[in-house]
Structure 1
Amino acid sequence: MSSPYKRHSLVWLSERGWQDAALTLPDRHDQHRQHLRRWQANDWPTVVRRQDADCPADAVCLGVALPPDAEGNKLRLPLRVAKEHVHLVQDPLAILNVIPHVTASWRDALQQLNNDVATKGLSVSVYGSLALQALTGQGYLRASSDIDLLFRPLSEQELTDGIHLLQLHAQALPLDGEIVFPDNAAVSWKEWVQACHHPDNRVLLKRSGDVALMRVGDLLAMLNHHEEHQRPTCPV
């Protein structure tokens, strides 16, 4: 069974989970502990990050990202919590859930992107600053902010369709983000566009525990292999 703890997944903690999380912060950072207490009081989620090399199998690595300060600096608090103290895990937000939280200049274009994604039956969700603003009501977005999208194609045709939509809508929206392949390894979609024309080109793959370079051809083979195994078999 696939783990629910994928990068960018949303994780709500129990009271004991927040206590454990606070213990992972350095003692000298009392202000950081205050941030965690505020997160707990508002029942805001943490976000799954890349697993630390020494993280045990029964724990999960999480993060809390604060809104940028007046200078644009972003404080991120790395946490580690036992899985038994996790209250709830959810996938990143659907595009539809964040549309009410964007500026008017983005709203119509983002609604059209959502419509096109739905028409094609694609899996596209939102993470990063826009998702955090929608979840917490705090001011994460700046004039220079991107819209970070997670695109999960289940076939090479979906990959082609999704990349076409991202490139089309990037003409009106500051789109960024990742393609997530069936093993939950992710590639920047902009990097993929630059490299996908030759199977021997390599792209930077972000996995749950590390990063690696992989051939475009190998990633397409993985996608096609997954698609074949998802097809229903005819009864004998």
Structure 2
Amino acid sequence: MLSLQRHQLLRLRDSAWQRLLADTAHLAARPALTLWAHHGHPVVVSRQAPGLPADTPLAAGLPAPLSLGRARIALALRADEVLFVDAFPLAAEVLPTLGAPQRAGWQALCAQLDALEVPARVYGSHGWQQLTGLGYVRPGSDLDLLLPVSTHQQADAVVRVLAAAPAGLPRLDGELLWPDGAAVAWREWAAWRAGQVGALLVRRIDGVDLVEAWSCDPCLQSA
């Protein structure tokens, strides 16, 4: 059984694409599926149902590009249809999706995250555009970051860097990702640490929990 986390990508076998394209349940999605199958684009892991047998289909999906209406297409896969697990691009790799005036600021931000030993990745519109070469980014598109952290202090340092990001960049959104797979929106973390909210929404592969500041999950206990 594959061990999956949110925002992971899956590369599929040709036989998986053939099955999906033959499935009449996906008739409306066939243009996007055909494109994905032809180019071998990845699909993204979705929330998995908790507590089900190991042979339960894997939940995955893909967002169609702007040219195909931006539809979100849900897929059910067998574990043996997955060729390998992949990842969204590293932050520095999405530079081509930004406008020329934004690139110096983005490079500076990437350098600051690297200095914190945070190998940030980019999902969402900018991530998919870099992965596929298709059009996803629109004026006003957020830049979604997946930020692996292991301590409160590291998470706080990342938040300070993001909050002071160079002017002119897209709005920075995204999540702090903890070693056990728990993820927290970085803006929500900042508000929680500042005492502006009394609870924190923690996202996992099989659901979400509202964690109160005085009764946290072990990976989120106060330093």
TM-score, shorter chain, exceeding 0.5: yes
Q: State the match for 1:137 in structure 2.
A: 133
Matched, 1:31 2:16: no
Who is 1:230 aligned against?
none
2:173 to 176, 180, 185: 176
Q: How many residues align?
A: 221
Name stretches of at least 5 consecutive residues in structure 2 with no aligned partner: none
Aligned match of 1:13 = 12
Gaps spanning 5+ residues in structure 1: where?
Answer: 228-236
Query: Alignment identity in percent?
Result: 31
CA contact 1:12–1:86 (8 Å) conserved in 2? yes
The CA RMSD measured in Å over matched residues stands at: 2.8
Native 8 Å contact 1:180 1:187 kept in 2: yes
Shift of the alpha carbon at 1:172? Answer: 3.7
Question: Secondary structure of 1:31's match?
Answer: coil
The 3 A distance-change label for structure 1 pair 133 and 37 is: same
Q: Contact 2:2–2:79 (CA<8 Å) still a contact in 1?
A: no
Asked whether the equivalents of residues 109 and 166 of structure 2 are also in contact (C-alpha less than 8 Å), the reply is no
The alignment's TM-score, normalised by the length of structure 1, stands at 0.82
CA positional deviation for 1:74: 2.5
Structure 2 CA distance for partners of 1:218 and 1:159, relative to 1, 3 Å: farther
- Alignment check: 8 A CA contact 1:61 1:81 kept: yes
1:67–1:138 Cα contact (<8 Å) kept: yes
1:40 — aligned with what? Answer: 37
Separation in structure 2 between the aligned mates of residue 188 and residue 125 of structure 1, nearest angstrom: 14
State whether residues 58 and 78 of structure 2, in contact with CA within 8 Å, keep that contact through their aligned partners in structure 1: yes
CA distance in 2, matches of 1:62, 1:19: 16
Alignment partner of 1:64 out of 45, 58, 62? 62
Shift of 1:85: 1.2
Per the TM alignment, residue 33 of structure 1 is displaced from its structure 2 partner at its CA by 1.9
Q: Distance in 2 between matches of 1:218 and 1:186?
A: 17
Structure-2 separation of matches of 1:103 and 1:185 = 32
Cα distance in 1 for partners of 2:215, 2:2 equals 21
What displacement does 1:128 show?
A: 0.7
The 3 A distance-change label for structure 1 pair 55 and 63 is farther
Q: CA deviation at 1:214?
A: 0.9
Within the alignment, does 1:100 sit opposite 2:96 as a pair?
Answer: yes
